Amino acid sequence: MGTLDKVQVGKSAVVKRLHGSGPVKRRIMDMGITKGTEVFVRKVAPLGDPIELTVRGYELSIRKSEAVNIEVE
């Protein structure tokens, strides 16, 4: 287990738990990243931020600071 920012490019992970509070957690959930969702890491920018994901059939870019709040397995 780890956080989404540690998942390698080309690998998938399943969301186990969301950390954070208030607007940060709500924003992550509004993007479709909820417990049990499979997330595929498509690309990571050269400096590591942002991270491009495929979630629920669509592409999504999130900041590394948001990815550390997403626990995956």
pLDDT score of 72 more than 90: yes
Give just the sign of the alpha carbon dihedral 35, 22, 30, 48: negative
- For the entire predicted model, the pTM comes to 0.87
State residue 22's pLDDT score: 86
**How many domains does the chain divide into?**
1
pLDDT at 49: 87
Write out the two tokens for 67. 């990815």
- CATH code of the domain in which 12 resides: 2.30.30.90
Q: Domain of residue 68: give its range.
A: 2-72
pLDDT of 18-60, one tens digit each? 998 888 889 989 999 999 999 999 999 998 889 999 999 999 9
What is the pLDDT, as a whole number, of residue 71?
94
d(CA 57, CA 69): 22
Q: What is the pLDDT of residue 21?
A: 84
